[in-house]
Structure 1
Amino acid sequence: MNGRVADAVKGHWVDTHAPEWLRPYARLARWERPIGWWLLLWPCWWSAGLAAVASESAFPNPVHLVLFLIGAVAMRGAGCTYNDLVDQDIDLKVARTRSRPIPSGQVTPLQAKVFLILQALVGLAVLLSFNRFTIVLGLVSLLPVAIYPFMKRITNWPQLFLGFAFSWGALMGWAAVFGSLDWTPILLYLGGILWTIGYDTIYAHQDKEDDALVGVKSTARLFGERTKPALVLLYTGATALFAAAASLADAGPAAFAGIALGAIHLFWQIIRLEIDDPDQCLKLFRSNTRYGWIVFAGYVADALISA
């Protein structure tokens, strides 16, 4: 076995430059697939951007942005490791996932647990750099992270629980600046949950046939041929909540322009979507990195203009 993972990015630095001993762990943490930590990072950076607007700062705190980046990479890797430990029985039955490090034997469950702890310690070190309120808030986030992998076994809405976990940064960026929460980050968090359900529904259409065989539930299976109307509702709701959060933060035209341009991108995804084309589903899922940049750029531009 060459150690390659079927659904990994081909020709990535993990396969070409990483030491042989590190490669299974890098694949376990999905280092060759940065889309995961970008999706975890964007709510953090959006929240930091809105906090800059609300506090009349010219730019989001650069130290916070770097800390959130390190934390997103570490905790996304830890989350993937934890998810693979929980799902190893399912991964063995799905063609796209049976070559992952644990089911394929590249990494033992014990080694994966040690690696999980090391990544979590990096995340903890980042968390301890913030104020006390943010530290407590970050620790609370472990609850949705812990329960998410089990949801696909018991509910048609595992993407909702992914949203609870992946959008938590919408609370963190604001708390890091103000040491408290109000309706601005809460609305941003709720919008992030709807956005997450939308993009992960697109992603889940890659696996819907295998999921049906092994009994895994998802919104892709739930929505089926009604996926596009469902995405319209989800993305419209996310956009409205993001706009409401910006309004409460006293944001100006640049922030709303970013949200509007981002909405155009989201509806482009819906127009282009072919739910029975796995390659296109993956491409559209990954395009949410661009969406994140669009919205964040609007917040940063607004902070610069308003300061």
Structure 2
Amino acid sequence: MAMYRLSHGRRLLCCGHSYLSIALSGINPPPTSNQSNNFLHSLLDAPNFFEFTLRNSSSRHQFYNSFHLIRPFGVYQTLFGNSHISTLASKENEQKPKNNGSSKPDQSWIDVYLPQKARPYAHLARIDKPIGTWLLAWPCMWSITMAAVPATLPDFKMMALFGSGALLLRGAGCTINDLLDQDIDRKVERTRSRPVASGILTPFQGLCFLAFQLSLGLGVLLQLNNFSRVLGASSLLLVFSYPFMKRLTFWPQAYLGLTFNWGALLGWAAVRGSLDPAIVLPLYASGVFWTLVYDTIYAHQDKEDDVRVGVKSTALRFGDSTKEWITGFGIACIGSLAFSGFNANLGWPYYAFLIGASGQLGWQILTVDLSSRADCNRKFVSNKWFGALVFTGILLGRLFP
């Protein structure tokens, strides 16, 4: 059957050649054989000249041929049921939209629901990518819940304030990063479409938006006690200096850990009005080690671009030894969490959930494909569940001491 269909396909292509020969014969003077062939080949090099569709009827020996002109010039396309015979030119044209479209950012709910003028600012703050907010908020929630009086629920008003603050500070951090890294972002495939790097927003517009975000963040900070205000404001030194670290050291992920987990100190201070080093310092350290795990995995997405551009990361520093390094960081993270919980007198549910969190972190490290950008991103995003497991353990450990 396949040979039978193929023979009809060849016959159909031959008919097409004869059709062109008849058309060319009407030219006065008629072209030579070589001219005809050259003209035919030039037509075949252009896309979508004719499309031939050959459909098999209920009888094996009867076929229905549909022939229609799509454009004045193009190539033959012959369809035999599920088989597709086309010229190389048509294949190249089919691939062009895919290649051209690969660099365009995926459409998010921002592009559907927000007014057009607000969309670049929403993209600048990454509000359509909540994982960054989760990673910033979880250490705050751990600390606030750990600071609660035993057998009582945490302060929900305080948690709401810190949730709002995490959203604002994360957005401000993204804005600062994009303003300072716009030249680098233009050279990296994953970041070249960001609003400032692509020119959708000017640096001045970005600065104005940053001032707006920080003003809202200040309104949240002023709701806290004086000690927390000073402690919270000091974190801005880390936020503003972090983007420079990738130019100076192979350990920007460690610096990000110091920045992103400041809430482990601030949450306790907001509830208690002071710091208890035996509890908050191991909690803070656990967050830093956790960040070294997830952000090293994340950095493997850009390692080729980082080498070309000339920026540094732990992904480049560790190379083929990455899994050994992040395994060590994961163990240090779980150990620090256990030590902090022990000093805070948390009950047994905390340790049960800590075992579950250890399994989640171990699953990330063991199964991540560091050569796959998609898998690195999946493992990175999954860290919201690690944070949720630790939070649930602290909550139940505080309720049932």
| Fold shared, TM-score > 0.5 on shorter chain | yes
- Displacement of 1:304: 2.3
Tell me the TM-score normalized by structure 2. Answer: 0.73
Give every structure 1 segment of 4 or more consecutive aligned residues whose post-TM-superposition deviation is greater than 6 Å: none
Question: Within the alignment, does 1:282 sit opposite 2:364 as a pair?
Answer: no
**Contact (CA 8 Å) 2:185, 2:191: kept in 1 or not?**
yes
Select 2:318's aligned residue among 213, 216, 223: 223
Aligned equivalent of 1:63? 157
Select 1:96's aligned residue among 183, 186, 190: 190
- Displacement of 1:7: 8.5
- Displacement of 1:197: 1.1
Aligned equivalent of 2:336? 241
Question: Within the alignment, does 1:43 sit opposite 2:43 as a pair?
Answer: no
Tell me the TM-score normalized by structure 1. Answer: 0.95
Q: CA–CA distance in 2 between the matches of 1:217 and 1:204?
A: 10
Q: 1:192-249: CA deviations, max 9, x gaps?
A: 0010011000000000000000111000011111111111100100110011000110
Aligned equivalent of 2:201? 107
- The Cα RMSD (Å) is 1.4
- Displacement of 1:167: 0.5
- Displacement of 1:143: 1.3
Aligned equivalent of 2:296? 201
Give the residue type in structure 2 aligned to 1:301.
Answer: L
Give the structure with higher Rg (CA): 2
Secondary structure at the counterpart of residue 184 of structure 1: helix
Q: 1:106-157: CA deviations, max 9, x gaps?
A: 1110000010011111111111101111111101111111111000001000
Give the residue type in structure 2 aligned to 1:240.
Answer: G
Select 2:217's aligned residue among 117, 123, 136: 123
Larger relative contact order, structure 1 or 2 (CA cutoff 8 Å, min sep 6): 1
Q: CA–CA distance in 1 between the matches of 2:315 and 2:344?
A: 34
**Contact (CA 8 Å) 1:88, 1:102: kept in 2 or not?**
yes
Aligned equivalent of 2:176? 82
Q: CA–CA distance in 2 between the matches of 1:240 and 1:7?
A: 43
**Contact (CA 8 Å) 1:5, 1:97: kept in 2 or not?**
no
**Contact (CA 8 Å) 1:159, 1:197: kept in 2 or not?**
yes
Question: Within the alignment, does 1:140 sit opposite 2:140 as a pair?
Answer: no
Aligned equivalent of 2:282? 187
Give the residue type in structure 2 aligned to 1:24.
Answer: P
Question: Within the alignment, does 1:154 sit opposite 2:154 as a pair?
Answer: no
Secondary structure at the counterpart of residue 93 of structure 1: coil
Aligned equivalent of 1:19? 115
Q: CA–CA distance in 1 between the matches of 2:103 and 2:337?
A: 36
Give the residue type in structure 1 aligned to 2:371.
Answer: D
**Contact (CA 8 Å) 2:169, 2:217: kept in 1 or not?**
yes
**Contact (CA 8 Å) 1:206, 1:282: kept in 2 or not?**
yes
Q: CA–CA distance in 1 between the matches of 2:327 and 2:256?
A: 19
**Contact (CA 8 Å) 2:151, 2:400: kept in 1 or not?**
no
In structure 1, stretches of 5+ residues that fail to align are none
Aligned equivalent of 1:297? 392
Give the residue type in structure 2 aligned to 1:300.
Answer: L
Select 1:32's aligned residue among 128, 136, 147: 128
- Displacement of 1:293: 0.6
Give the residue type in structure 2 aligned to 1:130.
Answer: L
The structure richer in strand per residue is 2
Q: CA–CA distance in 2 between the matches of 1:92 and 1:304?
A: 50
Q: 1:175 to 1:20 in 2, by over 3 A?
A: same
Q: CA–CA distance in 2 between the matches of 1:46 and 1:149?
A: 26
Aligned equivalent of 2:166? 72
Question: Within the alignment, does 1:166 sit opposite 2:260 as a pair?
Answer: yes
